A and B are shown apart, each in its own frame.
Chain A
Amino acid sequence: MPLLEAIDVHGGYGGMNILNGVDMAIEADEIGVIVGPNGAGKSTMLKAIFGLLTITQGEIRLRGEAITNLSPHKLVEMGMGFVPQEKNIFPSLSVEENLEMGAFLKPATASRLKRQIYEFFPPLFEKRRQPAGELSGGQRQMVAMGRALMNEPSVLLLDEPTAGLSPRYMNEIFERVKTINAAGVGVLMVEQNAKQALRIAHKGFVLAAGQNRFTDTGEALLNDPQVAKSFLGG
């Protein structure tokens, strides 16, 4: 049974459909990457899974259980973590407080998890008392991912985690995603840096106009001349 499964998902904002039938499935130990041109509905799909917009048709399942249109609050309780692309930290709260907010539903485990996150993202330990808003872009992304990990999610949704980061930080974030996945967290992420992302992906979903154009393993998509030509810039 797949960890996260989307079947023929339709949905959008205020009656305007952006998703016109998206299918995807990832197993518990997999990284799934959603790529595609601008306006293909990549981020919209992630938001639809996390209950931030109404799904008008189709179904989303977590471990076989239907979670279509559940509230984000409920999904967090069920072990889903979401890192938005923008505004993904609490800028005036310290790094440490940002992490604590991630464990809001599990205060008892907060201090143990905080130590793990600091080991995982060492720069955050040095800056733990600083307001998160004062950190650099890469470090903010670490805070954002750390916050989501504090809830010990079984599946993590990442919306363009490397957007606007320097190549150095970009590679570091991809490495971290691999490590998070190796620790037993299923990852579904949207990426603009399609080639690098597909390299670490077990499954790749190429969306266009709110529908699957290609669905295969990351490697197969990278080697597919048609995908390369139309979506990966040759």
Chain B
Amino acid sequence: MNELIYFFNYVVVAGSVTGCIYAMGAIGVTLIYSILRFAHFAHADMMTLGTFVVLLLTLAFPHAGDALGLPTAIVMLPIAMAVTSLVAVGIDRAFYQPLRAHGVKPIVMVIASLGVTLMLQGLIRLFAGTGAQSLYVDARKEIFRIDLPGITRPIVVTEPQIILFAVTIVAVVGLHLFLTRARLGKAMRAMSDNPDLARASGINTRLIITLTWIIAGSLATLAGTLLSLDVAFKPDLSFFLLLPIFAAAIVGGVGHPYGAIAGGFLVGFAETLAVFNWSVLLRPLRDSLPTWLELPNNLALVGTEYKIVVPFFILVAVLIWRPTGIFKGKVI
């Protein structure tokens, strides 16, 4: 039983955490692609930026969360989401909009977004330095250990993880309702389907573009912050997020928000399972194994430090064998 709990802690919990983060990032990538028709490479840096805003606010008001019994970073989330969305819309107006007006090819937009990536990374490093910083400025992370009867090993879940699960569910359900019920949400899907006809129907496409950046920016802030709460804030966070969220968006089928969620969890769990030490699960069988077969101490497919190869592998495999992804999306 201890081994199963170990599996639960290191695969189910860890995989879900990674899955939630990737899913929220991938939804942003997929929405931006469906509305603006380019792969937004600066998206992972949007996540770092959102987290950076949260860090600044938390440093400024370290005790803001005490009254509510929540980590200060969580209380600061709505403000940070608004700020990040504003910056995202500003970046669009300053860099992408003029290019769109010139009718450039999508690849030019992609290169421009790479430029934005470097710019954001530089700016964040300028202010936050290069080291890791905890988002718990003046408090400690709460860790819940749930003991099950008769088992020595407890289930371990941290407070940010629980908040992450709750926030992801709320965000996904909210987005679903918005896209299927709200007039603007439907218009967003319409514009993704057929932008010319959307314009010919009188849909204000500029408003839809602004809305896309707001949703993508908010989700990026949520995902980045909740990940950083669980580990720590690092300016190079985006480097480790970019590939997985693009893999997730492509696996799910670009242009499909639900595909992005599925893709996020698929990539998240694949990554977790690949670095999981399977030897632990096999340990109870050790006595019944033949003597010539010795159980190694570490039986992971790849070492933790090479985790990034997993989404890379998934990305290449999907692009070769099923470029439209699970839900038959667009081909980037």
- Indicate whether A and B interact: yes
Interface residues of A (CB under 8 A from B): 50, 72-73, 76-77, 82, 84, 87-93, 97-98, 100-102, 104-105, 107, 147, 151
A82: which B residues are within 8 A, CB to CB?
A: 200
Additional 12 contacts, C-beta under 8 A, given A90-B194, A97-B189: A50-B200, A72-B199, A72-B200, A73-B199, A87-B196, A88-B197, A90-B190, A90-B198, A92-B193, A101-B201, A105-B202, A151-B202
Q: Which residues of B contact A72 (CB under 8 A)?
A: 199-200
Which residues from A are CB-within-8-Å of B102?
A: none
B186, B187, B197, B199 — which one has the most chain A CB atoms within 10 A of its CB? Answer: B197
Report yes or no: B197 in contact with A100, Cβ–Cβ below 8 A: no
Is B183's CB within 8 Å of the partner chain A? yes
Cβ-based interface call for B110 (8 A): no
Contact assessment for B193 and A91 in the assembled complex, using a CB-CB cutoff below 8 Å: yes
Q: In the complex, which of the residues B186, B196, B204 contacts A101, with contact meaning CB atoms closer than 8 Å?
A: B186
Please state if A93 and B186 are interface contacts (CB–CB under 8 Å): yes
Q: With an 8 A cutoff between CB atoms, is B203 at the interface?
A: yes
Q: Sample 15 A-B pairs with CB under 8 A, ordered by A number.
A: A50-B200, A76-B200, A77-B202, A82-B200, A84-B197, A90-B194, A90-B198, A92-B189, A92-B192, A100-B186, A101-B198, A102-B201, A105-B202, A147-B197, A147-B201
Residues from chain B with a CB closer than 8 A to the CB of A102 are 201
Most central of A73, A76, A87 by chain B CB within 10 Å = A73
| Chain A neighbourhood of B183, CB < 8 A | 100, 104, 107
Given contacts A93-B186, A93-B189, contact A104 B194 (CB under 8 A): no
Minimum CB–CB distance for A176 against chain B, Å: 20
In whole angstroms, how far apart are the Cα atoms of A183 and B297 in the complex?
82
A159 to chain B, nearest CB (A): 11
Residues of B contacting A147 in the complex (Cβ-Cβ under 8 angstroms): 197, 201
Q: Once the chains bind, are A73 and B204 in contact (CB under 8 Å)?
A: yes
Cα–Cα, bound, A102→B203 (Å): 9
**Cα distance, A89 to B190, chains bound together (Å):** 9
- Identity of the chain B residue whose Cβ is nearest the Cβ of A132 in the assembled complex: B193
B189 touches A104 (CB 8 A): no
Contacting pair A104 B193 (CB below 8 A) = no
- What residues of B have a CB within 8 angstroms of the CB of A77 in the complex? 202
The size of the chain B interface, using a CB distance under 8 A, is 17
- B-chain residues with CB within 8 Å of residue A84 when the two chains form the complex: 196-197, 200
Contact with A along B178-214 (1 / 0, CB 8 A): 0000010011011011101111111110000000000
Least distance between B259 CB and chain A CB atoms (Å): 13
Contact B197 A97 (CB under 8 A): no
- In the complex, how many angstroms separate the beta carbon of A214 from the nearest chain B beta carbon? 30
Which of B192, B194, B199: most chain A CB closer than 10 A?
A: B194
Asked if B187 contacts A104 (CB within 8 A), the reply is yes
Taking the closest CB of chain A, its distance from the CB of B203, in whole angstroms, is 5
In the complex the two chains form, is A90's CB within 8 Å of B202's CB? Answer: no
A73→B204 CA distance, assembly (Å): 8
Contact check, A89 vs B201: say whether CB atoms are below 8 A apart. no
Which 10 residue pairs across A and B have the least CB separation, nearest first? A76-B202, A90-B193, A105-B202, A90-B190, A101-B190, A101-B201, A104-B203, A104-B202, A82-B200, A92-B193
Bound CA span A92–B194, Å: 10
